[in-house]
Structure 1
Amino acid sequence: MRLTQLRSFHAVATNGNFTAAAKSLHVSQPTVTTQVAQLETLYNVELFHRVGRRAVPTEMGERLLALSRQIFGLEGEAVQLLRESGQLRSGHLRVAAVGPSHVTRMLVSFHQQYPGIKVSVSTGNSQEVLERLADYRADVGVLAQLAHDERFVSWPYSEHGVAIICSAQHRFAQRRSITLAELEGERLILREPGSTTRTALERALQTAGVSPQVVMEIASREIIREAVLQNVGLAAVSEVEFVPGPGLRSVRIHGAHVRTYAHVVCLAERQESALVRAFVHCAHKTRPPAQGQ
């Protein structure tokens, strides 16, 4: 297998079609098509399903893409090391985060110190952030749920309480705080499995022996917010993520330790990367003071 063949495959898989892949590689489309075909013929595999003008990786193509991301990610680091001599005047930092509230201050600090570095941010729950780090789609992550995994290293960043949000029509709307016991039988809207806010609340409810009525499970923060505004039910949110608005109220939980946390995380094998070290340094400089419940 030649590296040019793998590079053509990677370009098609990441761009979604042969034309865009050829343009990204600054070669002709027939060249890319030939190199991918040679790779398929050489190993007697099918790497793409051709759907109109789209090229969708097969199961084997997805597995090869996971490896090519590692290869070309490392190649990019080598080129950057040689070209910039560690001065970080250019490059591309890919950040995966559980939400904008956890990462914005870090990004501002990083951009101010390294304005020549392009930064792209993807969001998802904690499990999705770890998956992006593990398959080299992200360089550094900012997440809340931290499971013991020797593949990763982490640094603590912040700690926040979990609040309950409700509509202005709900009986809790005029309250500053409630107890967990008062959630017994209440209609509750939960985030998707993997959400740290959901996990923190469920653990606290289980410990307290409280059973609310789960009426919806929604992955989108925006849809949850709208459902709460319509008085469909209550929802839990990290206090740092709550955005006040007409018809919406935030009520603190009294007498229970319900918290979410933020950590900066990367693959252990990449912790000495200049880009990762620079981002971690900026994160340390912007750490907020600990918040009380």
Structure 2
Amino acid sequence: MRLTQLRSFHAVATTGSFTAAARSLHVSQPTVTTQVGQLEVLYGVELFHRAGRGVRPTEMGEHLMTLSRQIFGLEAEAVQLLRESGVLRTGHLRVAAVGPSHVTRMLVAFNQRYPGIKVSVSTGNSQEVLDRLADYSADVGVLAQVARDERFVSVPYSEHAVTIICSAQHPFAKRRSIRIGELQGERLILRESGSTTRKAIETALEVAGVKPDVVMEIASREIIREAVLQNVGVAAVSEVEYVPGPGLRAVRLNNAKVRTYAHVVCLSERQNSAMVRAFVQCAQETRPLGEVGA
């Protein structure tokens, strides 16, 4: 296999077409088509489903794309290292985060210090962030849990209480705090599996022997907020993610320590990357006073 063949495959897989791939590689479309075809013939595999002008990777193509993303990600790092000689003037940092509230301060600090670096941000739950780091589609992650996996290194950033939100019509709305036992039988809206906030509240409920009535599981913070406003049920959210508004109330749990945490995470093998180190340093310098690890 030639590197040019793999590069053509990767370009098609990431752009979704042979034409766009050729444009990105500054070669002719027949050249890209030939190189991908040679790769398929050489190993007796089908790498793309071809439908009209668009293409999508087969299952084998998806596996190969995971590897090619790693290969060309490392190549890009090597080029950047040699070109910049340790000075971060240009480049592209891909950040995966569990939500804007955890990462905004870090992004502002990084942009102010390295204005020439392009930053793209994707969001998802903690497991999705780890998955993006593992398959090299993100360089650094900001998530709400310690990655108990030797493939990753985690740097503590902040700690936040989990609070209960309810509509202004709910009986809890007139109170500043409740006991966790009062959630017994209460209509509860949960985040999706993989959410650290969900894990935190479920653990606290189990320890307290409390069984609420789970009425919905929703992956979107915005949809959870709307469901609570409509008095469908109450929900547990991290205080840092709570956005006050008309018709919405936040109530603390006064007899249970339920917490979420923000950590900056990267693959262990990439912790010495100049760009990753720079982002981690910015995060440490902007860490809220008195927070975890301060």
Q: TM-score, normalised by structure 2?
A: 0.98
The 5 Å alignment of 1:115-134 reads 115-134=115-134
Query: Which residue does 2:44 correspond to in 1?
Result: 44
Distance 2:238 2:289 in 1: 16
Moved more, 204-213 or 141-150: 141-150
Residue pair 2:147, 2:154 contacting (<8 A) in 1 also: no
Match of 1:162 in 2: 162
1:141 aligns with 2:159: no
Quick one: distance in 2 between partners of 1:78 and 1:148?
29
Provide the residue aligned with 2:194 in structure 1.
Answer: 194
Q: Report the secondary structure of 2:207's partner residue.
A: helix
Distance 2:168 2:101 in 1: 24
* Preserved CA contact (<8 Å) 1:204 1:258: yes
3-state secondary structure, aligned to 1:145: coil
Q: Which residue of 2 aligns with 1:211?
A: 211
Which aligned pairs between 1:1-293 and structure 2 lie closer than 5 A?
Answer: 1-290=1-290
Given that 2:154 and 2:265 are in contact with CA atoms closer than 8 Å, whether structure 1 keeps it comes out as: yes
CA distance in 2 between partners of 1:226 and 1:185 (Å): 21
3-state SS of the aligned residue for 1:133? Answer: helix
Distance in 2 (CA, whole Å) between partners of 1:291 and 1:213 is 34
1:72–1:105 Cα change, 3 Å: same
3-state DSSP of counterpart to 2:173: coil
Q: Is the 8 A contact 1:197 1:237 kept in 2?
A: yes
Distance 1:288 1:90 in 2: 28
Following the alignment from structure 1 to structure 2, what is the Cα–Cα distance between the partners of residues 188 and 51? 45
SS at match of 1:55: strand
Contact 2:49 2:58 in 1 (8 A): yes
Indicate the larger mover: 276-285 or 140-149.
Answer: 140-149
Aligned-residue identity in percent: 80
Stretches of structure 1 that go unaligned for 5 or more consecutive residues are none
Counterparts of 1:11 and 1:38 in 2: how far apart (Å)?
15
CA contact (8 A) 2:160 2:238 kept: yes
2:144–2:263 Cα contact (<8 Å) kept: yes
Partner Cα separation in structure 2 for residue 275 and residue 127 of structure 1: 23
Residue 125 of structure 1 deviates from its aligned partner by 0.6
> The residue matched to 1:89 in structure 2 has which SS?
coil
- Match of 1:172, SS state, is helix
Maintained 8 Å contact 1:159/1:290 = no
**Alpha carbon RMSD of aligned pairs, Å?**
1.1
What is the one-letter code of the residue matched to 2:30? P
Equivalent-residue separation in structure 2 for 1:290 and 1:202 (angstroms): 27
Q: Is the 8 A contact 1:156 1:264 kept in 2?
A: yes
CA–CA distance in structure 2, aligned partners of residues 232 and 54 of structure 1: 43
Q: Deviations 1:137-174 (Å, cap 9, x if unpaired)?
A: 11111111224211111110000000111111111111
Could you tell me which runs of 5 or more consecutive residues in structure 2 were left unpaired when the two chains were aligned: none
